Structure 1
Amino acid sequence: MLTYDLHSRGELSLFEFLYRSIKNDILTGQLQPSERLPSKRTFARHLGISTITIEAAYRQLVAEGYVYARERSGYYVADVAPVSSPTLASALAYSPIGAEQPFSHASSLVSHEVAHYQNDSLHNRAQHEQYEQHGAHGQVEQYKQDKQYEQHILADFSRPASHAHRQAARLWERTLRSTFSHESEATLFREHTARGSMRLREAIAQYLLRSRGMHVEPEAIVIAAGAKLLYSLCALMNPRARTIALEDPGYPVLCQVYTAFGKRVQGISQDEHGLLVSELALKNVQIAHVMPSHQFPSGHLMSISRRYELLSWAYDGAREIIEDDFDWEFRLAGRPIPSLQSIDAQGKVIYISTFSVSLSPALRIAYAVFPDALNERVEHALACFSQTVSTIDQIALARALESGDYERHISRFRAYARRVRDELISALQSSPIGNRLIFGQVDNGLHFVLGVRTEAYARDIARVCRSSGVIMAPLDAYCLEQTTAHDGYARFVMQYSGVDPQHIHEAVLAFVRAVKECE
């Protein structure tokens, strides 16, 4: 029977201590793959704690891929042993559980020599035009150009809310007033370096430590006016990287940004554990852009074994990983999944996140954490740029982070999003086709995948829905290479954060009518 000294947990909660202890035993080999964990009731009696605590720890371990559940059998240890690699073995030793480490200084710098890839221009142009015509971006833009779109829109599930919640506007109004009242003119109107205000970078570093368990130095952070600029910076500072891998299906904006910088975009398939790392080596990729905590649009969460496999791929050559953590704050069940950056021992992961989801895209504030090994290349790329976010906005955001107002806003909006999601799923399940519906990845963030068992195609259902003012986004519209074969289900990406709860039931009825009309 597993035994842990609960009196040695310090300030950790029982859940946190138990979760970390089991996770540590798995990583160090004390618990072997396929080994059965104690039942929740037996374990709870043995430790003298509640079964709720045990269940919460088990569920978090399942979500991260350390443990898997067998129906009516119990919980078992997953095979998370990394692929054979001495560098990866050192990574495990470098980053013990519960003590995420800063970036290593070991990696050597890559040359700054700029290379032009004129031979790829025709490929990139054709690929970009094909994606614009057939991909998700083209389809959503087509929706907007339809005359029907100009009519009243009942519910738009094809895009996130333009702002997180009306509370975000009130938070920003209060914060700006406080900023102008308490900060000096010298503070608010000074010019900062291209990396951004040190005060905001320090506030972000502390926030990531509190909320994400990440140990980062403020000097490693770069502030920019939106994630697109940070994607551009990554492309600019890697002139020798000819090919960038994107998860397929994937986020259409990434394809646009990277092809604009002359990069060849290569779609990489996924399964339920995340991106298929085995395809990276076959396709001569130098950079992999991934969303391990909540992939868009599939919603997949990359398992811990797949994360180690991806790191091993990066460690075996002059390769890098861009971790896009766009909505980690909105995991609706359990704690946020630890970042890929937090287990990177060799400085191969560039971490990018944004405040657009939590506050508003209108504020245009995002940030990246660069490994120390890339510092010289970052400075070189930033040399021709000025800081793109106003000092006033940076200081205001720093104050919101320092005071805890931002985290309280996140907590409120997370609760609001959970209510909207639950109401939407409940309405779908109780609809006339409720027994034909499946729901994928409903807890990982502010969108999930809805599948309906039907021989009709998702694009046809979406077209009929538009006539009723309901905008749906077919999952296969986000495929970079080609659409998937029909497997008996029409699937849709449901971004629900901007939907008015009062219109949910009417929107669901419109969706049901569309499905039946297309059958």
Structure 2
Amino acid sequence: MRELMIHLNENSPKYKQIYHSIRSLIENKELQPNTKLPSIRQLAEILYVSRNTTLVAYEQLLAEGYIRSEQKRGYFVETFESIDIHTPTLHAEKSISEERKIKVDFRAGSVDQHAFPIKAWRKCVNEVLKEDIVYMYGEQQGDRLLREKIANYLLQSRGIRTSEDSIVIGSSTQQLLMHLSILLKNKYSSIAVENPGYDGARTVFQLCGFQINPIEVRKKGLCMKQLEKIESKLVYITPSHQFPTGVTLPIAERLQLLNWAHSQNGYIIEDDYDSEFRYQQQPIPALLSIQQEARVIYISTFSKAFLPSIRLSYMVLPSELLDQYNQQFATFEQTASSIHQRTMARFMERGHWDSHIRKMRATYKRKMHVLVSSLHLAFGKVIRLIGTQSGLYILIQLQSSVGEEILIQQALEQGVKVYPTSNLYIGYKPEFSILKLGFSNLSIEEIQLGVQLLKKAWT
């Protein structure tokens, strides 16, 4: 090819324009493989540029593999297979469009942004930033001051008598469960879990190689008869506010469960993720508070009651496991932020935590009441509400054969996001679809609007 017309301008270096133009012609297959290109001198004469300009452009194309040089023959378009990159523009536009049209998002797990004590928290952060702890990795079990405050809080609010030495702080419940699973896998090979139950915990156990034994959750919580028939000596349970049904395990079953763990020489992993928010009665005492030497591993988090993004959870280990934990994870650095740990300790020390919990309990109680009453008013007997006395979400079951995915899509078409529960079941699904509606970060007006839109979507 002796002629190669390229339009050049003065806006950028000419060698770059020549390079990009030839590259584009090759990529668009306008210059076919093995096509001979003009020589450096010929191209310079055609484009009225210096030979050095065309030389630099060719050398760049040569370096990137777009052309090849054959001795005494010149430059040729290299043979290579182009890659078809299909940019999902339509899908992206659809996703953006869907996000824009969402009016009410019943997402669980977020917090009320307007009620968050940002000034008190910021003041504590500023104080901590002046401390030496900011420049260190921190203690392996977590900040001692925070562990002291947690121990005091557990005694007052959950009836648990423990010391800071028995508490381990981590970045999340799943991270603590991961470490715990590694620790327990030395002795145990299977674990019983609630069905339905928290799939995040179940995933951790599966990743760690445990055989999963699902135990049905009934009106009184975990079915003890099923538990006693299996070989598992470990059980993961949410007894104070069963996830997701909201059932509270009665005292008779709690004692039975504690006796089971003792007789099996096993352990109960008690996940007490949102015990602060009960609206009809006082918080239920933890399993570990019934028997101080019980074979219970207690786990809780600051994510639900305070703020998910600070990534703070903690567990209380029995003495026999604590020694093993410190030996096995001696070389592991603390996973939670030292700054956030010490800030939370200062926040609790100054009394902000207790006042925050009291305020949020009243706020969420009102929101729960508005959501429940609005749903009853809109749907009447067509729906069944589950878990309306505690927590930061409820379950709604429509007496309809319409599937879960369709109900979610119908709600989305009206600008409302609701969430599935099918992923929480193992081996079976309820007769009618059950959806999850969180309310913590919604205003009263948004809750009422959301229910009206759901009525429009589902009726």
1:157 maps onto 2:106 in alignment: yes
> Equivalents in 2 of 1:288, 1:508: separation in Å?
37
One-letter identity of the residue aligned with 2:418: M
1:254 maps onto 2:201 in alignment: yes
| Residue of 417, 441, 447 corresponding to 1:498 | 441
One-letter identity of the residue aligned with 2:362: A
- Provide closer, same or farther for how the CA distance between residues 207 and 422 of structure 1 changes in structure 2, counting only shifts above 3 A: same
State the secondary structure of the residue aligned to 2:192: strand
Report the counterpart of residue 72 of structure 2 in structure 1.
none
Shift of residue 345, structure 1, vs aligned partner: 4.7
1:305 maps onto 2:252 in alignment: yes
> Equivalents in 1 of 2:161, 2:113: separation in Å?
27
Q: Single out whichever of 149-158 and 335-344 deviates more from structure 2.
A: 149-158
One-letter identity of the residue aligned with 1:274: G
Report the counterpart of residue 304 of structure 2 in structure 1.
357
> Equivalents in 1 of 2:102, 2:448: separation in Å?
14
> Equivalents in 1 of 2:112, 2:376: separation in Å?
28
- Provide closer, same or farther for how the CA distance between residues 205 and 319 of structure 1 changes in structure 2, counting only shifts above 3 A: same
- Provide closer, same or farther for how the CA distance between residues 285 and 165 of structure 1 changes in structure 2, counting only shifts above 3 A: farther
Shift of residue 423, structure 1, vs aligned partner: 1.6
Report the counterpart of residue 179 of structure 1 in structure 2.
128
- Provide closer, same or farther for how the CA distance between residues 477 and 514 of structure 1 changes in structure 2, counting only shifts above 3 A: farther
Report the counterpart of residue 116 of structure 2 in structure 1.
167
> Equivalents in 2 of 1:193, 1:337: separation in Å?
32
| Residue of 441, 447, 461 corresponding to 2:407 | 461
1:291 maps onto 2:238 in alignment: yes
Contact 2:404–2:420 under 8 Å retained in 1: yes
Contact 1:456–1:515 under 8 Å retained in 2: no
Report the counterpart of residue 28 of structure 2 in structure 1.
none
Provide structure 2 residue ranges, at least 5 long, that are not aligned to the other structure: 1-93
Cα shift readout 1:253-293 (whole Å, capped 9, x = no counterpart): 11221111112222110111111122223332121010000
How does the TM-score come out when normalised to structure 2?
0.75
Report the counterpart of residue 442 of structure 1 in structure 2.
388
Cα shift readout 1:349-402 (whole Å, capped 9, x = no counterpart): 000000011221110011100111212221123223111122222211111111
State the secondary structure of the residue aligned to 1:301: coil
1:111-510 correspondence to structure 2 within 5 Å = 149-161=98-110, 166-180=115-129, 185-239=131-185, 240-431=187-378, 433-486=379-432, 490-510=433-453
> Equivalents in 2 of 1:169, 1:266: separation in Å?
43
Aligned-CA RMSD value:
2.1
Q: Single out whichever of 219-228 and 236-245 deviates more from structure 2.
A: 236-245
How many residues are treated as equivalent by the alignment?
365
> Equivalents in 1 of 2:112, 2:192: separation in Å?
30
Cα shift readout 1:297-352 (whole Å, capped 9, x = no counterpart): 11111111111111111111231110000001111222110000111354410000
> Equivalents in 2 of 1:312, 1:380: separation in Å?
29
Contact 1:165–1:413 under 8 Å retained in 2: no
Structure exhibiting the larger radius of gyration computed from Cα positions:
2
> Equivalents in 2 of 1:193, 1:173: separation in Å?
24
- Provide closer, same or farther for how the CA distance between residues 376 and 163 of structure 1 changes in structure 2, counting only shifts above 3 A: farther
Contact 1:189–1:392 under 8 Å retained in 2: no
Contact 2:158–2:289 under 8 Å retained in 1: no
One-letter identity of the residue aligned with 1:511: L
One-letter identity of the residue aligned with 1:263: F
Provide structure 1 residue ranges, at least 5 long, that are not aligned to the other structure: 1-144
State the secondary structure of the residue aligned to 1:322: strand
1:511 maps onto 2:454 in alignment: yes
Cα shift readout 1:176-209 (whole Å, capped 9, x = no counterpart): 12434xxx63344344321011111111111111
Query: How high is the sequence identity, in percent, across the aligned residues?
Result: 29
> Equivalents in 2 of 1:372, 1:236: separation in Å?
17
> Equivalents in 2 of 1:305, 1:161: separation in Å?
34
